[in-house]
Amino acid sequence: MNKKLVLLGVVAVLFCTAFVRAEEDSAATEDATKVEDDIGKSRDASKTDDETVQKEEEAIKIDGLNVAQVKELREKAEKHVFQAEVNRMMKLIINSLYKNKEIFLRELISNASDALDKIRFLSLTDKAALGENTELTIKIKADKDNRALHITDTGIGMTKQDLINNLGTIAKSGTSDFLAKLGDAQSAVEMTDLIGQFGVGFYSSFLVADRVVVTSKHNDDEQYIWESDSTSFSVVKDPRGNTLGRGSQISLYLKEEAADYLEGDSIEDLVKKYSQFINFNIYLWKSKTETVEEPIDEDEAKDEADKKEEKKDEPKDEKKDDDDEAKVEEEKEEDKPKTKKVEKTTWDWELVNSNKPIWTRKQSEIEDKEYSEFYKSFSKDSEDPLAKAHFVAEGEVTFRSILFVPKANPPEVFSNYGSKRDYIKMYVRRVFITDNFEDMMPKYLSFVRGVVDSDDLPLNVSRETLQQHKLLKVIKKKLVRKTLDMLKKIGKEDYEKFWKEFSTNIKLGVMEDHTNRTRLAKLLRFNSSNSDKETTSLADYLERMKEKQDAIYFMAGSSRAEVEKSPFVERLLKKGYEVLYLIEPVDEYCIQSLPEFEGKKFQNVAKEGLNIDGSEKTKEQFSELRKQYEPITTWLSENALKDKIEKAVVSERLTTSPCALVASSYGWSGNMERIMRAQAYAKAKDPSQEFYSEQKKTLEINTRHPLIKELRRRVEADQGDQTAKDLAVVMYETATLRSGYNLKDTSGFAGRIERMLRLSMDISLDEKIEEEPEEVEDDDDDSKEEVNADSDDGDDGDKKTEEKTAEETDDKEKPSEAKDTPIEEKTEDKSDTQEKVDESSETKKG
């Protein structure tokens, strides 16, 4: 019996051991399988990884369809491959055609606007085209969870064949086909507004998206879905049915680096930058936080009631009247429904392009207030414009434009003169193209702001640059003409404000713009001898000119006071001639660039060529005067001022000054020489500057002046008279200063003036300057005592010396005596010094 039990136990043990081993083997097999599976799944770069495929399937989510339905939809879809040239063009578009990725939104909105234009045009003849969906809008919605951006329009939509033809071929223009079918002459103007290109513009989507899904519904077909990853595309019927009603929805599944385009602010900025003047409303799905009142729950109401009861139980020391008032308020509060304020985030469609393109309307229909609001909206200026011009230009290129003149010039306009300005914005059919046009306006008109909108301006495929520069030149020419006409029409009071801000711009325009020089000359204003306060135009100057006056006289200087006292204007003012005062640095440059104005030449009264009296009798008298003073003019030219002047002549322009230095017709006046020497980038000893500055000038003398008469008397008596030579040199140097030039030898000039003063005051030229008296030094003992007295006021340890006298020791012991002693000694020193000075002065007198 026992043997049987032992045998059964052994068999049982063996059976259990075998069962355990079998389980271990099966577990090991399962582990090995798992390891192999994990190895396959851990390869991040494997294209057959089932997890990666699953992620790709889940990446594209279409509203109303789950992952399985999307997968089934793809399996049933018609697969198409882009043509070889399309693939090459796609790479070109994505990598180099567009400079700025953000324009993808501009292109898609433009295409949506074209689709809306088409359905609106069809609805004019077929009222059933719009159906129940009469709203023509563009809506943009960002889905951050799925990293998708949806652009939806209620336009004409596309059939299945349209999706294949228009989106499968580069630059296949649906609008072009649409216009070809509707070749009605009466609707030509309407059709020119249609620019839709579901071609190159559409493919700019791949600048920011890995995959693009287009859902479209046309009135003549069912709703279809077009999907592409830029290498191939598929088209399939939408299993959801007609969800759009009519129109298209473009869904961009953005790249990681393009996630910023999912932000509401970024989208809004792009819409306002490129598409704010689209004819149709553009809505953006945005959130906003509001504070709203919500009813309180029962539990919260009970808690508040309990709190109020606790407050009632608290001891009250207030008066009875206060208790009654509190009870009344509590009763009123109990009657009202119990609510609480809660911050709530709500989502809704918000209109983005509220500004409308007023330039498309007639000028008579627009009020000044609308112009001002429009100007402020696009220029970011807080003030109203000073002037405006609204016009339509026709010819080689047709465009509409509104130009504005601001009230103030930008502060950095001349420090950065010639740099790029973005004040003129170019639109094509109300779609913003660029504001980076260097040649749109000349530099001197860079302050002008405005918009230019053309319907037939040819663009390249990226819509960023113009194909024909010739048309740009035409636009620029018309803009400049219209701007100058606008400035000419500004009223007198407003023009004074304009001239105060922009006078330098107009003067620079005279120098730079030879084509419009005559028009710009009419805008010039200068100070004049005719008025102390108001400026004058050249046209007004001509009206006041004398009968036989053949030139417009002007004098340039640094200030009005300087030019009014200039010797060059003396006789002109005395005879009643009007002289223009050029007191700004750019004025003389400006006038030199003007050869004439309405047949009258300009005459700088500080240069040669001035002819005041033109009668024959006056000419004879002047000729006789020249002969009388020929000896003195010859002596000045060949003797006294031989190396300083070109020649000396009798003057027609001087009345009170003895003489003046006159530049040649092509030389520098004193004002111009000062400006050229003050240039920040002027080079030392520049050959071109040296040529002008070193030119000898003509000395004109006033024969009626007593100094000139005295000089003539001395020279006729003795041509070698040194005093006469000195007088001539001093007169030349004073004339140099009076004429606005710089003296080269200022110390020599000062010495000659001092010599003249000595002679005039009967002081001997040999008398020397009195020497300064020698300083009398104090005795050594006195100085030592003063030093010791000063040392008592400070620290004793800081003033120790190796040799100490007995007197210094006594001074330290008796500080009061030491302080008094130097004062008495100083008094004695002063008296001694005074005696010595008196002795020395007596010696000198003796």
pLDDT (average), residues 268-289: 88
pLDDT band at 73 (very low <50, low <70, confident <90, very high): confident
Q: What percent of the chain has pLDDT over 70?
A: 69
3-state secondary structure 3-28: HHHHHHHHHHHHHHHHHHHHHHHHHH
Residue with tokens 């074209």: 114
CA-angle at 100, arms to 96 and 103, nearest 5°: 115
Contact call for residues 660 and 608 (beta carbons, < 8 A):
no
State residue 502's pLDDT score.
93
Q: Phi, psi (5° rounding) for residue 766?
A: -90, -10
State residue 838's pLDDT score.
46
Distances in Å between the Cα of 826 and the Cα atoms of 764, 837, 839 are 41, 16, 20
pLDDT in tens, 560-573: 999 999 999 999 99
State residue 796's pLDDT score.
47
State residue 273's pLDDT score.
86
State residue 522's pLDDT score.
95
pLDDT in tens, 92-115: 656 655 667 888 898 899 889 989
Which tokens go with 307? 């709190």
Pairing of strands 281-295, 137-143: parallel
pLDDT in tens, 397-441: 889 999 999 998 877 766 667 666 668 888 888 888 777 766 678
Residue 162 has pLDDT above 60, yes or no: yes
Between residues 798 and 697, the one the model is more confident about: 697
Residue 277 has pLDDT above 60, yes or no: yes
Nearest CA-CA partner of 690 in 676, 670, 675: 676
pLDDT in tens, 594-634: 989 999 999 999 999 888 876 778 888 888 888 999 999 99
Which tokens go with 470? 């010739």
pLDDT (average), residues 11-15: 56
Residue with tokens 């010859």: 634
Contact call for residues 606 and 566 (beta carbons, < 8 A):
yes
Nearest CA-CA partner of 506 in 386, 409, 603: 409
Which tokens go with 407? 């009230």
Average pLDDT, the chain: 77
**How buried is 32 (Cβ within 10 angstroms: 0-12 exposed, 13-18 middle, 19+ buried)?**
exposed
Between residues 496 and 62, the one the model is more confident about: 496
* Residue 255: partners with Cβ closer than 8 Å, 6 or more residues away: 208, 209, 210
CA-angle at 562, arms to 557 and 567, nearest 5°: 95
Residue 350 has pLDDT above 70, yes or no: yes
Between residues 416 and 234, the one the model is more confident about: 234
Which tokens go with 527? 């100070």
pLDDT band at 3 (very low <50, low <70, confident <90, very high): low
State residue 438's pLDDT score.
65
Report the interhelical angle of 806-813 vs 780-791 (nearest 10°): 30
The HSE-up count of residue 422 (CA atoms within 13 Å, CB side) is 9
Span of 221-225, 349-353, 691-695 with lowest mean pLDDT: 691-695
Contact call for residues 791 and 799 (beta carbons, < 8 A):
yes
* Residue 85: partners with Cβ closer than 8 Å, 6 or more residues away: 170
Span of 139-143, 343-347, 379-383, 810-814 with lowest mean pLDDT: 810-814
pLDDT band at 336 (very low <50, low <70, confident <90, very high): low
Rg (CA), the chain: 49
| CA 156 centroid distance within chain | 43
* Residue 98: partners with Cβ closer than 8 Å, 6 or more residues away: 104, 204, 207, 462, 464
Residue 38 has pLDDT above 50, yes or no: no
pLDDT in tens, 241-264: 899 999 999 999 999 999 999 998
Q: Is the dihedral of CA 595, 598, 604, 608 positive or negative?
A: positive
* Residue 200: partners with Cβ closer than 8 Å, 6 or more residues away: 89, 93, 97, 170, 171, 461, 462
* Residue 147: partners with Cβ closer than 8 Å, 6 or more residues away: 253, 254, 256, 259, 262
Span of 168-182, 370-384, 473-487, 719-733 with lowest mean pLDDT: 168-182
Long-range pairs of 260-265 with CB within 8 A, sequence gap ≥ 24: 261/102, 261/105, 261/142, 261/149, 261/208, 262/142, 262/143, 262/144, 262/147, 262/149, 263/142, 264/142
Tally of helices (H runs) and strands (E runs) in the chain: 30, 23
> Is 240 strand, coil or helix?
coil
Nearest CA-CA partner of 563 in 529, 590, 586, 593: 529
Residue 677 has pLDDT above 90, yes or no: no
State residue 196's pLDDT score.
34
Residue 506 has pLDDT above 90, yes or no: yes
State residue 561's pLDDT score.
93
pTM recorded for the entire structure: 0.67
Q: Phi, psi (5° rounding) for residue 565?
A: -95, 5
Q: What percent of the chain has pLDDT over 90?
A: 35
Which tokens go with 604? 């700088």
DSSP secondary structure letters along 652-674: SS-SSSSEEEEB-TTS--HHHHH
pLDDT (average), residues 714-731: 88
Span of 470-479, 708-717, 756-765, 794-803 with lowest mean pLDDT: 794-803
Between residues 831 and 81, the one the model is more confident about: 81
Residue 43 has pLDDT above 50, yes or no: no
| CA 733 centroid distance within chain | 48
> Is 532 strand, coil or helix?
strand
